[in-house]
Structure 1
Amino acid sequence: MKYLEGRKYVIQAIFIAIGAVYLIKLFYIQVLDDSYKTAAESNAMRRVVQYPFRGLVYDRNGVLLVENTPVYDLMVVPKEARAIDTLEFCRLVGLTLLEYREKITAAKKYSYVKPSPFLQRLSNTEFAAIQDNLVDFPGFYINARTVRSYPHSSLAHALGYIGEISPRQLEDSTYHGYRQGDYLGISGIEREYEKYLMGKRGVKYTMVNVRGIEKGSFKNGAYDTLSEAGQNLVTTIDLKLQEYGEKLMSGGKVGSMVAIEPSTGEILALVSAPYFDPSLLTGKELGNNYMKLLRDPAKPLFNRPLMATYPPGSIFKLAQALIAMQEGVLTPETGYPCNWSLVKCSHRHPYPANLNIAIENSCNPYFYQVFRSVVNRGKYRNVYEDVRQGLDNWNKHIKTFGFASSLDIDLPGEKKGLMPSAKFYDRIYKRDGWKYPTIYSVSIGQGETGVTPLQMANFAATIANRGYYYKPHIVRSVGEKGKPLPEYLVKNYTSVDPMYFPPVIDGMQMVVEKGTGRNASLKHIGVVLCGKTGTVQNPHGKDHSVFIAFAPKDDPKIAIAVYVENAGSGANAGAPMASLMIEKYLTGTIKTKYRQRWEADMINGGFYKWGD
C-alpha cells in the first residue's frame, strides 16, 4: 500500500511539472515574446470581390453603343477602422466630419465586420490622390470595378442605365446573390438583359498587415476564383438611322418614331422626344442628373414609344376596313356617301365609290358607315344587345393586330393601350344605355381608343406582311454569334385573311401618290411607298400629326410610325418625316435639293407653317 501511495505522489508531481511548463510557455508567448502578435497582425486575410466586366452593347452593324470605364470604390470594414485621425481622413477624401459620420454609421448598419462601399465611383485622378495615404487609415481599401460609358449620345431610352442596388431590392429574394454596393440594370436593355450582361463575380484572398498593406495572395491563390465577363449584346438598332431620327425630332418637339424591319420584327430606330444623352446617367453625378431630368416639365425620362398612349386617328381606318372585309360586310368595290350629317369630313373630295378612294381621301363618313356595318349586324332584336355583341366581336379582331395588349418587346415599361368592349361601355352608360351613335368616334380612331407608337409601327409592319407580324424586339443576339430569344422568331397572325390586305395596301399607295400623304412620296428614288396619314384631335391645343408607312410596296424593308404632338395635320409633319427616314435607311442619304429643304424644315420646325 505504501508503494502505491508513493506512485500517486510521483504522478501528481509529473502533472504539476507539465502544467508549470505550459504556464511558463504561455507567459513567455503572451507577455515576453511579441513575435506571434506581430505575425498575426502581419497576416490578416482580406476577401476582395472581383467585379466582372459587364457585357458590351453593339448596333446591328457592329458599332459599339455601350462600353465599360474603370472606376474605384473606397471600401471600409468598420471593425478595422478604429483609432484613425478622422479629420485628416476627411481632408484627404474631401468630406466634412458630419458626412464621414453618416457614411461610417451606414456601413456599420450594414455590417460591422464585412466590407461595404464608403465612397463610390472615384475617378483615376481621385484614386491617385488618396492611394498612397490609405496606409495610415486601417480598415479602408480600394476596390476596382467598371461603370458604363457611351461613345455616342443617342438611344438613351432603349439602352437604359445601371445603378446601385437598393435596400428594398436586397431584401427581395428575386435579387438573391446581390450585395450592398452592387450595380444592376435599372431601365432599358440594361434591366431587361441583366442576367446576360452582369457576368459572374470572382473573389481574391490577400494577406494584409495591420496598416492595410497587401503582403501577397493567400496560399498562392488556391482559393481565388476568377470573375467571368458578361455576354455582349448585338442590338437591332441602326445607329445612323437612330441619330437621324433624333435629329429630325430635335428642337423641342414632343413625340415618337419607331421603325421596324417587317420580315423580322427587328426595331431599326426607337426615338422618344425629348431625349437626353445617356452619359448623364453614369458616374458620380448620376443622382443629381437624374433628379434634373425627373423635374424637367418636358419629361425626357418618359419613354413615349412604349409608354405614351394616344388615339390613333385616321390610320385606324385601315384596321376597320380589314375587319369589315373579314366579316363580309365590305368589299373593295363598296361605296358610301360622304355624308357630313353623320360626321364631319376633313376636306371636300370626290365621291368615295370604292375602298381605294375612301382610303386615299381619308373619308370620315365612309368609315363611320363601315364600322356601323360591323357593329350593327341585326342579329338580335334588342338593338342594345346587337351592338354589344357586334362590338365584342370587333374587339376580338382588333386585338389580333397587337392593339390593347402587350407586344412583349424586350424592354420594360410597355403599356397595353385601350380598345373598348361592351363591358367597358356598360360601366360608363349601364348595360342598355348606349348604342352605335354613342361610340361612332371609334370608327375614325378617336374616342375611347389608345395605342402606343410601338403598336402603330407594328400595325404598319403587319400590313406590309399581309397579315402577320413578328414581335418587335431590340436585341438581335445574345453573344456575337447568338440568336434572339425564341419568342421573337414566331409569326403572329391576325384574324383577317391575307386575301383582304392587297386592297388596303393599294389604297395606302394612292394616299401617297394622289391623296393626303403626297408629302411622303419617294418617286424620285423609284420606291413605291405605302402610307396613311392621321390627324388626331387634341382638346388641349393643336392637333397631333400621325403617319404610318412601309416601303418598298412589294418587298418591304422598313415599316415606320411617326407621331408628333401638336404638329397639326399628318401630311405636314408625320408624312415628310417618315419618308425622310425611309429614304435615309434605303439609300443612306437625302439626295435632291427640295428634299434637303424639307429636311431642314423638319429639323428647325419650319413645317409648322406649312398648314398656315
Structure 2
Amino acid sequence: MNSFFERKYVIQGIILIIALTLIARLFYLQIIDDSYLLSANNNVLRKVIEYPARGVILDRNGEILVQNEPVYDLMVIPKEAKNIDTALLCRLIDIDREGFDKRMKKARDHSPYRASIFEKLIPKETFAVLQEHMDKFNGFYTVDRNIRTYPDSVAAQFLGYILEVTEKDIERSKGFYRSGDYIGASGVERSYEELLRGTRGVKNQMVDALNRPQGSFMEGKYDTLAISGEGLVSSLDKELQLLAEKLMRNKLGSVVAIEPSTGEILTYVSSPSYNPNLMVGRERGNNYMKMLNDPYKPMFNRPIQASYPPGSVFKVVAALTAQQAGVINAQTIFNCPGGYRYGRNAIMRCTHVDGPTDLVKSIQKSCNTYYGYVYAHMLDRRGMPSYKAYDLWRDGLMKFGLGHPLGIDLPGEKGGNVFPSDYYTKNFGSNKWTSSYNISQSIGQGQLGITPLQMANIMAIVANRGFYYRPHLIKGIGEEKIVKKEFTEKIWAGVDAKYYEPVIEGMSRAVSSGTAAASKIPGIEMCGKTGTVQNPHGENHAVFFAFAPRENPKIAIAVFVENAGYGGTWAAPIASMLVEKYIKDTITLPKYIQDRVMNAVILPKVKTKEIKPTVKEKKDSTKNSQNNSTPVKQAAAREKNNKNLLVHHSQIRRNYAQ
C-alpha cells in the first residue's frame, strides 16, 4: 500500500515538473524572447504598401501643370534596429543624434515589432547614397512613393497642395486613408481628391530572419496593384497664365479670364502668389508658416474669397437690370451738371460735367449722375415702398450671379455681399428709407461686395447677351475627358438679349474713345469698362472689365489691382495685353506702357511685428515634421483678414428726402 502511494507521488511530481517546465518555456518564448514574435510579424511575411501616383494635371493645350516625382520613406522595425552605424545614418539623412532618438522613440511607442516611418520624403539623390549602405542598418528598409512637382511653378492657388492625413481625415474616410497617406488640402487637389488619389496596393514580401528579401509570397497571388489617380485637363492656358502672373508681380489683386461660350477659366491669378513647389517635401511645414505670416497673404485666394465694391463697372449691371425692369430704355436722358443731388444738400459727384446723357453715353463716360437717377427710379418710383423695390433690384443682381457663390470647382468660394432690405431697415430703425439712404450702391460703392470671379462672369454674361455657364477650371476628367454636367448648363441672367446692345455700344466706345482708349487693340473691337474704386483705407483700387471681340467673343476678363489708382492707368493695360495675347498671340501695346506695368511695384506699406514662437525651438532636425492641422487661431485670423478685404464706402447718409 505504501509502495502504491509512493509511486503516486512520484508520478504527480513528474507531471508537475513537466507542467512547470512548459509554462516557463512559454513565458520565456512569449515574454522574454521576442524572436518568434518578430518572425511572425516581420521575418516571414512583410506587407509593403505600394502608393499610387496621383493623377497628372494638364493645361487646355496638353502642357503639364502638375506631375509626380519619386521620393522614399525610410521605415524601421525598432526591435530589429540593433548594432547599426547610427552616426552614418544620421549623416546620410541629415539629422542629429537627438533627432534620431526622437524618431526611434516615436517608432517604439507605435510598436516595437511593426514597421513605422522613420524619415519621410527622402529625395532620390539622398536615397541613391543611402541604398549603398543599407546593409549597415538592420531593421531599416525603404518604401517608394511620389510627391507633386510643378515644372513652371504656376497657378498655385488654383492647383492647391496636399498634406498628410489627420485622424479626422482617416475617420471621415471610413478607413480608406491610413496614417502616412496624403490628401488634397486646397485648390483642385482638394476638389478632385477622390479622382486624383488613386488606390493603394499591397505587396506581400517574404523575408528571412536577417530582414533580407526572399521574393514574393505565393508568387504574388495575394498582391494588389496600386492604381494611379485619374488625370485632369484644366481649362487654363499656361502661357496666358504665366504672362498674367508676370504682369501682376509686386501687386495685390486678381485676374480672371473666362471663355464665354463654355465658362472655362483661361486665367486665374491671385497676387501675390507663391511657388507651389514650396508646399512639397521636408521643408513644407517651415515654408507654410512663413507664407502664413507674410503680411501680403500669398495663400489668400483672392479671385473667390476677396470681396470688393466693383466701382463704376457695376454701371453695366445697373443699366441692364433697369432696362429689364422698364425703368429706363436706350433713349432715356438725364442731365449731368457734375453730380447727383439727393437728401438735404448732399451730392454724389461726377469727375466731369456730361450735360444731357443717354444710356450709351453714360457707359462711355462713366457718368455717376446718370446712375444716381437710375437707382432712385428703381427704388422710389415703382409704385411700392422703397424697401420692396430694393428687394426686386437685389433679385436682379442675384440672377447675374452676385450675392452668392457661383459654384466654381474650388473649395472656399465666397458669395460677396448684396445685403437684403432688412439689413438697411435694421440700421435705419424703420422701413421708411429711400434710395438716398444707400445711394452709393448706384455706382458700385457702399456695402456692395463682389468677388473677382463674379466680375469676370458679368463680362461673360454681357458677351453672351444674357446667359452664362458656371465658371470652372477642369474641362476634362480621365482619358475620356468627361465634363461635369453642372458645367454644361446654360444659366439665364434675367435680362433679355435686346437690352444688351446699347450697353455693349457704350463699352465699345469706352475703349475706342473713352476712359480706356490708351489700351485699345488694333484690329480687335474690345468692349470694356474702367473703374476706380474708392478705398477709405488707402489708395483707390483700379478695375477693368472687358470682353473681345464684340462679335463671337473669345474671352471675358476682369482685372482688379488693389491700391493702384485709376482703372484706365493700371488695370486696363493688363487686360489689353492678355486679350491680345490670347486672340492674336502677340502684344502691340507700346513698349513703354508694357514696361511701366511690368516693372511697377504697387504694394501698400504694412506694419509687421515679430511673431514669437509658442514653443521653445530646439536644434532638432525633424525637418519633415509637418503642420498637418490648421490651428483655430490661424483660421480665425485668416477669416478676419478676408473680411477686412471688403472695402466699405464710409459714408452712408441718413439725410434724405422724406
TM-score (norm 2): 0.82
| In 2, Cα distance between equivalents of 1:606 and 1:423 | 42
Task: Tell me, yes or no, if the aligned pair for 1:333 and 1:354 is still in contact at 8 Å.
Answer: yes
> How far apart, in 1, do the equivalents of 2:175 and 2:142 lie?
25
| Mapped partners of 2:482, 2:45: distance in 1 | 44
**In the alignment, what sits opposite 2:587?**
590
- How far the C-alpha of 1:269 sits from its partner, in A, is 0.5
1:367 is aligned with what amino acid?
Y
Q: Mark the CA change 1:204 to 1:191 in structure 2 (over 3 Å): closer, same or farther.
A: same
What is the alpha-carbon distance in structure 1 between the residues aligned to residue 246 and residue 85 of structure 2?
54
CA contact (8 A) 1:590 1:596 kept: no
Measure how far apart 1:485 and its partner are.
Answer: 1.2
Distance 1:584 1:349, change over 3 A: farther
Residue 368 of structure 1: how far off its partner (Å): 0.8
Q: Which residue of 2 aligns with 1:375?
A: 379
Farther off after superposition, 535-544 or 86-95: 86-95
Corresponding position of 1:247 = 246
* 2:569 alignment partner AA: N
Whether the 8 Å contact between 1:78 and 1:107 is mirrored in structure 2 is yes
State how 1:25-44 maps to structure 2 within 5 Å. Answer: 43-44=43-44
Which of 539, 544, 553 is residue 542 of structure 1 equivalent to? 539
Looking at structure 2, the residues matched to 93 and 236 of structure 1 have their Cα atoms a distance apart, in angstroms, of 40
Aligned-pair CA distance for 1:69: 0.7
**Can you give the 5+ residue segments of structure 2 that lack an aligned partner in the other structure?**
1-10, 30-34, 342-346, 604-658
Which whole-Å deviations, capped at 9, do the CAs of 1:196-227 have from their partners, x for residues lacking one? Answer: 11111111000112332111111111111111
Letter matched to residue 118 of structure 1: F
577-586 vs 369-378, greater mean Cα deviation: 369-378
Q: Corresponding residue for 2:51?
A: 51
Q: Describe how 1:134-533 pairs up with structure 2 within 5 A.
A: 134-170=134-170, 172-174=171-173, 176-250=175-249, 252-339=250-337, 340-342=339-341, 343-380=347-384, 386-432=385-431, 434-522=433-521, 524=522, 526-533=523-530
Cα contact 1:71–1:124 (8 A) shared by 2 = yes
C-alpha distance in 2 between matches for 1:301 and 1:175: 30
One-letter amino acid of the structure 2 residue matched with residue 158 of structure 1: F
User: 1:322-377 CA distances to partner (integer Å, 9 max, x unpaired)?
Assistant: 11111111010001121425243342243243100111111111101101111113
Partner of 2:168: helix, strand, or coil? helix
CA distance in 1, matches of 2:106, 2:169: 17
- Alignment RMSD, CA only? 2.9
State the shift of 1:302 in Å. Answer: 1.0
Q: Which residue of 1 aligns with 2:8?
A: none
Letter paired with 2:596: D
1:187/1:495 CA distance change after superposition, 3 Å: same
Offset at residue 431 of structure 1 (A): 3.0
Q: Which moved more, 1:198-207 or 1:343-352?
A: 343-352
Secondary structure in 1 aligned to 2:564? coil
Task: Deviation per CA, 1:49-86: give whole Å up to 9, x if none.
Answer: 11111111111111111111110001233455467676
Q: Structure 1 residues 99 and 167 mapped into 2: Cα distance closer, same or farther (>3 Å)? A: farther
User: 2:598 maps to which residue?
Assistant: 603
Contact 2:512–2:520, Cα closer than 8 Å, also in 1: yes
Using the TM superposition, give the Cα deviation of residue 136 of structure 1 relative to its aligned residue in structure 2, in angstroms. Answer: 4.3
Q: How many residues align?
A: 575
Looking at structure 2, the residues matched to 223 and 465 of structure 1 have their Cα atoms a distance apart, in angstroms, of: 57
Q: Give yes or no for contact 2:340–2:372 (8 Å, CA) kept in 1.
A: no
Counterpart pick for 1:556 among 550, 553, 557: 553
- Measure the CA separation in 2 of the matches of 1:39 and 1:363: 82
CA contact (8 A) 2:386 2:432 kept: no
Closer/same/farther in 2, CA of residues 490 and 112 from structure 1, 3 Å limit = farther
Answer whether contact 2:357 2:370 (CA < 8 A) is retained: no
Q: Counterpart amino acid of 1:47?
A: K
- State the alpha-carbon separation in 2 of the partners of residues 38 and 169 from structure 1: 32
Quote how far apart the aligned CAs of 1:133 are: 3.6
> Which letter maps to 1:561?
A
Q: Distance in 1 between matches of 2:375 and 2:87?
A: 77
* 1:573 equivalent in alignment to 2:577: no
AA at the equivalent of 2:44: A
Maintained 8 Å contact 2:310/2:444: yes
Change (3 A) 1:138 1:158: same
Deviations 1:279-329 (A, max 9, x none): 111122211111111111111111111111100001111111111111111
**What is the DSSP-based 3-state SS (H/G/I as helix, E as strand, rest coil) of the residue aligned with 1:316?**
helix
Letter of the 1:602 counterpart: V
Aligned with 2:491: secondary structure? Answer: strand
C-alpha spacing 1:55/1:568, structure 2 compared with 1 (3 Å):
same
1:414 alignment partner, SS class:
coil
* Counterpart contact for 1:234–1:480, Cα < 8 Å: no
**Mapped contact 1:352–1:358 kept (Cα < 8 A):** no
SS at match of 1:330: coil
Q: Which has the higher contact order (CA 8 A, sep 6+)?
A: 2
Identity %: 44
Residues 545 and 539 (structure 1 numbering): CA distance in 2 closer, same or farther, change over 3 Å? same
In 1, the alpha carbon distance for the partners of 2:262 and 2:403 equals: 22
3-state SS, counterpart of residue 567 of structure 2: coil
Residues in 1 aligned to 2:467 and 2:163: alpha-carbon distance in whole angstroms: 38
Task: Give 1:111 shift.
Answer: 4.9
Provide the rounded CA distance (Å) in 2 between the counterparts of 1:486 and 1:441. 39
TM-score, normalised with respect to structure 1? 0.88
3-state SS of paired residue (2:336): coil
Cα distance in 1 for partners of 2:251, 2:597 equals 10
Secondary structure at 1:427 match in 2: helix
For 2:121 and 2:388, how far apart are their aligned partners in 1? 61
Confirm or deny: 8 A CA contact 1:148 1:282 kept in the other structure.
yes
Counterpart residue identity of residue 64, structure 1: I
Q: Residue 135 of structure 1: CA displacement? A: 3.8
User: For 2:389 and 2:581, how far apart are their aligned partners in 1?
Assistant: 43
The amino acid of 1:411's aligned partner reads: L
Q: Following TM superposition, by how much is the alpha carbon of 1:276 offset from its aligned partner in structure 2, in angstroms?
A: 1.6
Distance 2:387 2:167 in 1: 50
After TM superposition, the structure 1 stretch with the greater mean CA deviation from structure 2, 47-56 or 111-120, is: 111-120
Measured in 2, the distance between the counterparts of 1:268 and 1:296 equals 28
The range that moved more, 198-207 or 284-293, is 284-293
- Are 2:53 and 2:68, in contact at CA under 8 Å, matched by a contact in 1? yes
Residues 428-474 of structure 1 show CA distances to partners (whole Å, capped at 9, x for unaligned) of 22333633211101100000110110100001001100111001111
Cα contact 1:352–1:363 (8 A) shared by 2: no
Whole-angstrom distance in 2 between the partners of 1:105 and 1:607? 51
Q: By how many angstroms is 1:88 displaced?
A: 6.3
Q: Find the aligned partners of 1:187 and 1:308 in 2 and give their Cα distance.
A: 16
Distance 1:458 1:114, change over 3 A: farther
Report the CA distance between 1:89 and its aligned residue.
Answer: 5.0
